Structure 1
């Protein structure tokens, strides 16, 4: 019989008990925005204040979140600050495109993300994971946070490009990390809503990396285009081919194809990597949960060779991943801005207000969750999952702009976890002291050094 102690409470900033000064706030936002929020934010249905950059509304109530993201989504555009950070990297990719460009792109790309295509990527995901985990055969300590970025990059390179990338693959993976480290941060001038012509020092450093990165993508697209013309019957049916076939007057422009490749790399590589790392960390600190998952994984892999069936066949593994996504949402903030002022249930939302729907806060809200800071995968076990409001759990967003790659990410995560946990055990060490930091994603500052041992050894 399992001995189950009190739930593990993973590291997170304590809510502030007093508001910061303006200077302190700018410093916190630049260093780690997760440390900014105070007790009221985790207890009230919404917060409405006027701050440095103008009116600010923090939306926590599921009804208000639904209103902003779904019911009246047409009145809300992407927030100016968010666009200032992301558009220099992603341009007209799905995350940052707006208006007609976004509608046309979303429609053109919907066929790329059908279940048929997602299932078609399961075998490459499995193959790359099996190749990747051979590095753990001899055991030892490894930084799992870094490893997961390498694994998800391998999977993405296979499903996006079938490994056919212009230039040297190792440098490509390295440049991705550098790009999002230098470019994906809030600059104090963005917070103050300074004019766009004022140079952002935090992003000047990333321009060389951005140019290099875009050249690789452009050259890779050209390489595939030439192969499509030369020998269309042998071209792999990966994301790149599907995107190029979505080109045309009613579909994507060439620039949008490239923008969306960069978006997939940013949204589909970094986010899944972070979620996998946090999942392995939480399971290492809650071995009683890990044991249940090991039993489930072993049983499913013994009877079901088809990886497209694993997501439905492994509810406990999925629940642990979902709970890690709750505690450490890869995209910790969804930012909107009303086009016209409006009132919702007595809350006045002025024009140009910064409206924040923050999964980081909503997922830890005292009125929405029991023991919100604890790692408790049973919240997502069958029978419990159905009781969670659609708008209190937002790892992939919601509404028209919900993440188009959510099914891809979930399939990838379960395949990766199943293979890793069936063969190896990941344990924390004295040096494993991660601290969640919001950059483009929720990252573990200090990495995740973990002891890896072969199961049964």
Structure 2
């Protein structure tokens, strides 16, 4: 008999039962797009609808998702509304570039993020995690309350800075996490002009306040590039062979332009760590509300770290830690929507003979947010159940029903990097400390490019009491 308590159901919008009016759609999209979706989005394999008079097909069926993102990916480009939101920030960075620009950038960066190369970062990830853990060194058994959404932004930025830029990002700011939050809040929101498909030159009033912080990030990138370029010219042999050097050496007529290099550096500094940071914070929150999960993770962490295992192997040696992180990615996917638009007419036929016609210009919307909570594909979809991702259960999950890193040619280039980073950071932090909710801990997921907790995520951090 299973004596465990009912699984924890973390907070999330309840599916709508009544379709919203056009005014409600605008208000909800501007406030929090996660609150827009109704029951059909969580129960049907696909939905053919209209959004501001434009045909949109919401796709949940794993086979149809594979068709759009992989098998016939060449027929689907980035949707206009997505680009209207992201391009003002990232311009021709890897997330927003298309065509030959994207192909050049992806090819240039691929060697840094191969699984073999990513494993080479494990030692630095461990060192920066341990260094950050010292922030809590003065905490006793009573603990203190801290906003872990801020803390996780700081630790992942420190790791990214050390691994990809050898710690040489030129920033004098002591409030980097605030800058990131301000950038995403101001620049990463949907503006009414986006919904109306207004051209980029039409002012977006909701983003005016974000131009200053965007300029600050651009200045950080330019100074970082100048400093490294000078170092390379003075002593190339003594310059780190890291991500930054790789990009700068690609500058030229046959490689990347300086503007493209700047855009890609900004993409990684401003957004490369953000997705992992949010997922780490949600993981600690969910684990704190599932004691039996936390106990299994702590036992595993203590055993593996005591064995002296190389951190490069922790991803495989800590299946409970990895599973908890992957389940948090399911419930709170950092990228909650994947937007595409059909270039030419397309048809997909399901195994049971049902056909779906996707006409040219139709928006194909794949939403990890609804897909990961879909009643057709998950048991107890709203519950935090990491055991879904333990090795013995992984085979039950269809490749295209779980998309925390996307899929197809544009799958997240840093997926292996992020998984390894997350397991190492969790092992270090949970090996030393407990993270518990307080009466102030009442997070609500909000979509601002990433899925983040509204008003932060305050939790009590206390030193762990080890049993003999």
Partner of 2:250: 246
**Structure 1 residues 163-174: aligned runs within 5 Å:** 163-174=167-178
Preserved CA contact (<8 Å) 2:154 2:176: no
Preserved CA contact (<8 Å) 1:166 1:220: yes
| Cα distance in structure 2, aligned partners of 1:271 and 1:232 | 33
Partner of 2:400: 391
**Structure 1 residues 333-348: aligned runs within 5 Å:** 333-345=337-349, 346-348=355-357
Preserved CA contact (<8 Å) 1:297 1:418: yes
| Cα distance in structure 2, aligned partners of 1:368 and 1:172 | 39
Q: Does 1:448 align with 2:452?
A: no
Preserved CA contact (<8 Å) 1:125 1:159: yes
The alpha-carbon distance between structure 1 residues 422 and 167, as it changes in their structure 2 partners (threshold 3 A), is: closer
Q: Does 1:211 align with 2:215?
A: yes
Partner of 1:191: 195
Q: How far off its partner does 1:339 sit? A: 0.6
Preserved CA contact (<8 Å) 1:2 1:288: no
CA deviation string 1:238-296 (max 9, x = no partner)? 22122223334333222111111111123321100000000000000001100001000
Q: Does 1:350 align with 2:359?
A: yes
| Cα distance in structure 2, aligned partners of 1:53 and 1:86 | 23
| Cα distance in structure 2, aligned partners of 1:135 and 1:305 | 25
| Cα distance in structure 1, aligned partners of 2:327 and 2:171 | 38
Structure 2: unaligned runs, 5 residues or longer: 350-354
| Cα distance in structure 2, aligned partners of 1:161 and 1:261 | 10
- Out of 249-258 and 89-98, give the one that drifted further: 249-258
CA deviation string 1:312-349 (max 9, x = no partner)? 11111100000000000000000000011222232221
**Structure 1 residues 54-203: aligned runs within 5 Å:** 54-137=54-137, 138=139, 139-203=143-207
The alpha-carbon distance between structure 1 residues 154 and 420, as it changes in their structure 2 partners (threshold 3 A), is: same
TM-score normalized by the length of structure 2: 0.95
Q: Does 1:410 align with 2:419?
A: yes
- Secondary structure at 2:174's aligned position in 1? helix
The alpha-carbon distance between structure 1 residues 205 and 169, as it changes in their structure 2 partners (threshold 3 A), is: closer
**Structure 1 residues 15-34: aligned runs within 5 Å:** 15-34=15-34
Preserved CA contact (<8 Å) 2:221 2:262: yes
- Secondary structure at 1:142's aligned position in 2? strand
Partner of 1:436: 445
Preserved CA contact (<8 Å) 2:81 2:197: yes
Q: Does 1:277 align with 2:281?
A: yes
Q: How far off its partner does 1:173 sit? A: 4.7
For this pair of structures, how many residues does the alignment match? Answer: 457
| Cα distance in structure 2, aligned partners of 1:301 and 1:396 | 28
- Out of 133-142 and 165-174, give the one that drifted further: 165-174
- Secondary structure at 1:50's aligned position in 2? strand
- Out of 115-124 and 368-377, give the one that drifted further: 115-124
Partner of 2:232: 228
Q: How far off its partner does 1:194 sit? A: 2.3
Q: How far off its partner does 1:219 sit? A: 1.3
Structure 1: unaligned runs, 5 residues or longer: none
CA deviation string 1:120-140 (max 9, x = no partner)? 221221111111111222131
Instruction: Please list every run of at least 4 consecutive aligned residues from structure 1 whose deviation after the TM superposition is greater than 4 angstroms.
Output: none
Preserved CA contact (<8 Å) 1:41 1:58: yes
| Cα distance in structure 2, aligned partners of 1:213 and 1:169 | 11
Aligned partner (choices 300, 304, 310) of residue 308 of structure 2: 304
CA deviation string 1:50-76 (max 9, x = no partner)? 221511110000011001000110000
Q: How far off its partner does 1:208 sit? A: 1.8
- Secondary structure at 1:96's aligned position in 2? coil
Preserved CA contact (<8 Å) 1:30 1:186: yes
Q: How far off its partner does 1:372 sit? A: 0.4
| Cα distance in structure 2, aligned partners of 1:404 and 1:252 | 18
Q: How far off its partner does 1:117 sit? A: 2.8
